[in-house]
Amino acid sequence: MNKDILNTYIQEFIKINTNSEISNLLLKGISFPEVDTKTIIEQIEAKKRCNTKLPTWFSTKNIYYPNKLNIEQTSSETTAKYKSQLLKGNSIIDLTGGFGVDCFYFSKQFKTVTHCEINNTLSKIVTHNFKQLDVYNIETIQTDGIEYLKKSSKIYDWIYVDPSRRHNSKGKVFFLNDCLPNVPEHLDLLFKHSKNIMIKTSPLLDLSVGINELKHVKTIHTVAVNNEVKELLWVLEYSFTGVISIETVNIKKKANTIFKFNLEDEKQTEPDYSLPLNYLYEPNSAILKAGAFNEISKQLEVYKLHKHSHLYTKNQRIDFPGRVFKIENIIPYSKKTLKSLSIKKANITTRNFPETVQQIRKKFNIKDGGNQYLFFTTDLNNNKLILITKKD
């Protein structure tokens, strides 16, 4: 960590050039003898990435930025704020603190926060930044979080861990047992220090795989931002053996859309089916990731088009956690029928359909965009259909 980066004139240069083309800066040359050009470029690139992801850091003076990979891997402020509101207590320890975004928001909910980070430079950066952010109830420790717990006798209200999906020898991985740290291997240790554990994982992790790898899973949160699933949050409670509940959230500027269910109900529920009616309903990505295909039909009293289509229909317009479309026409899928409609531009979605969106666009020469939405799917009688709709 080169503290000369914090010199006023260098900070001003970084701020002024946040949106500059890096190639132009390199061509002009950067002449600060106390800091090399590469380091300043890294600061500019990392700061730029924080503009929308970490606006608090972006707008705070004298923030020291790590390399851009650390920024890519950190939670956004949006998801960090959401997860912090799920927890409460006096003390929490983050075993894989990283850039400290989650800890920053934990500090608003807990009296004391412990931030463990194995990377010495990153730990120093985070310590500096917390002071700039006026946060003083976070203790930063440069250490391996697991090793720290092994030597500690402290008990915490919560333990938080975000295992790295990049294994030293295996590269990018998708099983918890392959992540660093290996959380399933160390669960007994974690439960010695807290009765409550939250684990953040990649949205690519299959829920059934995670459930099999872990124990005492109480709740799983699927977290989407603007309909893109960003992370899964696993809440474990010591000795819990009950039914696992699933909470889905799609975070938007105006309001969060939440849908809850439990796994046992989902397994035991049989949805009602129907041919397409007046309205078409498409669940948001958080619900689809959670696999609430039957429960959403039961709770919201909508009909499923087909067991594997995950599209729903109803004669009435209802509030729905996803997209809603008014069905204007229903036609059997055939090259002749679709060509006769002379559709030149449309938004296309496929659900339980043998062809991809790209194949359909190429075959029928349909460009992307416009106000018309075409759903290529399969009905309860296994007939291939095209639903011609408009957003409602």
pLDDT digit string, tens, across residues 77-136: 999 999 999 999 999 999 999 999 999 999 999 999 999 999 999 999 999 999 999 999
Q: Tell me, yes or no, whether 190 and 281 share the same domain.
A: no
Residue 78 lies in a domain: yes
- C-alpha–C-alpha distance, residues 141 and 118, integer Å: 8
Q: Tell me, yes or no, whether 79 and 200 share the same domain.
A: yes
Residue 261 lies in a domain: no
Residue 250 lies in a domain: no
Q: Which of 279, 286, 276, 185 lies closest to 230 in space, CA to CA? A: 286
User: Could you give the number of structural domains in the chain?
Assistant: 3
Indicate the pLDDT class of residue 254, thresholds 50, 70 and 90.
confident
Q: Is the pTM of this model over 0.85?
A: yes
Res 171 pLDDT > 90: no
Q: Tell me, yes or no, whether 131 and 91 share the same domain.
A: yes
Q: Tell me, yes or no, whether 181 and 99 share the same domain.
A: yes
Residue 247 lies in a domain: no
- C-alpha–C-alpha distance, residues 175 and 28, integer Å: 46
Q: Tell me, yes or no, whether 277 and 336 share the same domain.
A: yes
Domain boundary among 18, 35, 67: 67
> Which residue range forms the structural domain that includes residue 30?
3-67
Q: Tell me, yes or no, whether 304 and 207 share the same domain.
A: no
Q: Which helix (H) or strand (E) holds 48?
A: helix 37-53
| pLDDT on residue 385 | 95
Q: Tell me, yes or no, whether 296 and 366 share the same domain.
A: yes
Mean pLDDT of 129-147: 97
Indicate the pLDDT class of residue 182, thresholds 50, 70 and 90.
very high
CATH number at residue 197: 3.40.50.150
- C-alpha–C-alpha distance, residues 291 and 323, integer Å: 17
Q: Tell me, yes or no, whether 177 and 147 share the same domain.
A: yes
Q: Which residues contact 104 (CB under 8 A, 6 or more apart)?
A: 56, 80, 130, 133, 135, 138
Domain boundary among 67, 96, 122: 67
Q: Where are the alpha helices (DSSP H) in 99-177?
A: 101-106, 120-132, 145-150
Residue-wise pLDDT tens digits, 1-19? 888 899 898 999 889 888 8
